[in-house]
């Protein structure tokens, strides 16, 4: 399983990358593999507020649905609408297929680095 070192990770299996004060958020390789084939992503709208530790959307596989939990408190400034048509990108390239970008960040939950996260997934798995 692949956990790029330049990213940070949440315990609910999202990855996060900071770009000039904007948080880019997606799901980890572990998350996509546990979900199986992703068939749909429910996305928030630009302008929606997010709260650290709370759901901002969800991902559907054929027989399951999982919340997407936001690691930061802020405002959604961009959503990856390509995922609406091609949810399989989350399986094929989970680190390229970001889900949302959040700005005006006021709070960030306690995140893990790649090594810590890998250890965490081994406990979970």
Q: Is 115 a residue that touches another protein (CB under 8 A)? A: no
Q: Among residues 61, 75, 104, 108, which is the contact residue for another protein, using CB under 8 A?
A: 61
Q: Among residues 65, 81, 106, 107, which is the contact residue for another protein, using CB under 8 A?
A: 65
* DSSP code per residue over 35-97: H-S--EEE---TT-EE-TTSEEEEEE-SS-EEEEEPSEEEEEEEE-THHHH-TTHHHH-TTTS
Q: Among residues 46, 64, 115, 119, which is the contact residue for another protein, using CB under 8 A?
A: 64
Q: Minimal CA–CA distance to 10: which of 67, 65, 84, 75?
A: 67
Q: Which stretch binds another protein (CB under 8 A): 11-19, 21-29, 37-45, 104-112?
A: 37-45
Residue 52 token pair:
């650290």
How far apart are CB 40 and another protein at their closest, in Å? 7
The phi and psi torsions of 31 (rounded to 5 degrees) equal -60, -45
Q: Among residues 63, 96, 110, 123, which is the contact residue for another protein, using CB under 8 A?
A: 63
How far apart are CB 96 and another protein at their closest, in Å? 18
Gap between the Cα atoms of 16 and 112, Å rounded = 10
| Residue numbers at the binding site for another protein (CB under 8 A) | 37, 39-40, 42, 60-65, 87-88
């Amino acid at each position: 399983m692949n956990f790029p070192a330049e990213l940070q990770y949440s315990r609910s299996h999202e990855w996060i990358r900071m770009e000039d004060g904007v948080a880019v958020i997606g799901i980890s390789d572990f998350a996509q593999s546990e979900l199986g084939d992703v068939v749909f992503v429910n996305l928030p709208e630009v302008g929606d507020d997010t709260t650290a530790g709370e759901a901002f959307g969800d991902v559907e596989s054929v027989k399951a649905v999982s919340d997407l939990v936001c690691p930061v408190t802020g405002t959604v400034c961009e959503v990856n609408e390509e995922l609406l048509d091609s949810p399989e990108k989350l399986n094929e390239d989970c680190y390229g297929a970001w889900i949302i970008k959040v700005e005006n960040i006021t709070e960030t939950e306690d995140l893990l680095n790649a090594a810590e996260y890998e250890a965490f997934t081994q406990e979970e798995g």
